[in-house]
Amino acid sequence: MKRKTGRAAIVIAAMGFGLQPAHAACWNDGSVKAAKVMHLNNMLMVSALRCRSGAHNFLPEYNGFIKSHGRILAGVHGTAKRHFIRTVGSKRASLALDRFNISLANRYGSGHPTMGCKQIKQVMLSIREGAATQAALVNFADQHVGEPRLPGGSCQVQIASGK
Mean of the per-residue pLDDT values of the chain: 84
Residue 160 lies in a domain: no
The reported pLDDT for the residue numbered 147 is 86
CB neighbour list of residue 94: distance below 8 Å, 6 or more residues apart: 81, 84
Is 156 in a helix, a strand, or coil?
coil
Specify the length of the chain in residues.
Answer: 163
Residue 19: inside a domain, yes or no? no
The predicted pLDDT at position 33 comes to 95
Q: Is the Cβ–Cβ distance between 124 and 137 less than 8 Å?
A: no
pTM of the predicted model over 0.95: no
DSSP per-residue letters across 93-115: HHHHHHHHHHHHHHTTTT--SS-
pLDDT confidence of 11, banded at 50, 70, 90? very low
pLDDT in the model for residue 25: 84
Position 84 in a domain: yes
CA distances from 158 to 31, 52, 83 (A): 17, 42, 21
The answer to whether residue 115 is domain-embedded is yes
Write the CA distances from 44 to 17, 20, 52, 88, 127, integer angstroms: 42, 35, 12, 28, 10
pLDDT, tens only, 48-59: 999 999 999 999
Which range of residues forms the domain containing residue 65?
24-144
**Segment 71-126, tens digit of pLDDT:** 999 999 999 999 999 999 999 999 999 999 999 999 998 999 999 999 999 999 99
Instruction: Report pLDDT for 21.
Output: 43
Our count of domains for the chain comes to 1
